[in-house]
Amino acid sequence: MLSCATLDTVYALRRNELRQMIKYIHSQAGKQVNVGQQLFLSVLNVITNMLWGGTVKGDERAGVGAEFRKVITEITGFLGMPNLSDFYPGLARFDLQGIQKKSKVLAQRFDAIFEKMIEQRRLNDIRSESKDFLQFLLQLKGQGDARTPLTMTHIKALLMDMVVGGSDTTSNTVEFALAEMMNKPEVLRKVQEEVDRVVGKNRVVEESDIPNLPYLYAVMKEQLRLHPALPLLVPHCPSETCIVGGYTIPKGARVFINVWAIHRDPSIWENPSDFRPERFIDSKWDYSGNDFNYFPFGSGRRICAGTAMAERMFMFSLASLVHSFDWKTADGDNIDLAEKFGIVLKKKTPLVAIPTPRLSDASLYT
């Protein structure tokens, strides 16, 4: 599903969702827009369409999307919440903080959504020639495998991983990047000049334009350095006791890698707290995971499976937003970039900004 070849085939889907977002923002020109919420809805629609063909349209967009985002935010919040039971296993059965109880309620809400999608697939798409991810999984389950059977629980867990892992992380990352650029007008100006030079103002950005936007690419890398989507990466758990850097890591221990701190280490990065995309122009840094000074997507076998998808959605979304609109805050003050720390990093205060159209023809926004 996340291979480059597959992502190429669903470009029209990404483009359609981005154009819907730009159209909505254009309708709100001169008014305050919750940028993160609109980004979340677009990414959510792309992912759910790839998974099972579902989408949030029209008047449903704000309501259903906001509810989905609320559930995902609560789930990721519980995943990152310190739990007394982890430190004192004997207390686990008491669930003193109510984390287990509340998590089960959220899981049931997700389960109901997935049950509905699965049932619709079974009833409506038996004769469909096109195959989405859910159809493929149902086919595998039907074929059966005695050694590694695929159950309905496995299918729903995979769907949940894809929705939770892909939607909030990508939208938060783009929201942070736009906020950083609005606080650094010279960076925003450079990005807009680059996009105007490549695209012009008489047509819209296409994904094929992205390879010709090196400065925007540097903005993405710098954003991932300062505000990695998963500041502690995905937890690791060794299957055997091992020694790493002189430290004994017991079998079954939960290991977190603080990539947020590594990316702000003054012994590695000059002025590490500054948002300065220029540091990535013609630099050696990439996010392949081969350099442990910069690895926002992780490394090795546990590196993020959705890196290619995240890169395309980030570049395409941000290029479209800054190409189509100028952005400002209602009071003209700098944006608060305080972070809300957790398994998923997000802005403590949502980015609410006022868009002003900058393309030559209003028809380009339809």
Taken in order 136, 139, 143, 149, the sign of the CA dihedral is: positive
**Residue 87 and residue 254 in contact, taking contact as beta carbons nearer than 8 Å:** no
Task: Name the strand (E) or helix (H) holding 8.
Answer: helix 4-9
Angle between helices 99-124 and 35-52 (to 10 degrees): 50
Bridge partners of residue 352, in order along the sequence: 34
Distance between CA atoms of residues 280 and 186, nearest Å: 16
Among residues 39, 75, 85, which one has the least CA distance to residue 342?
75
> Which of 328, 315, 294 has its CA nearest to residue 14?
315
HSE (CB half, 13 Å, CA atoms) of 73? 16
- Per DSSP, the residues of 233-280 read -S-B--SS-EEETTEEE-TT--B---HHHHTT-TTTSSSTTS--GGGG
Residue 304 assigned as binding residue = yes
Binding residues, as ranges, are: 304
Binding residues for heme: 304
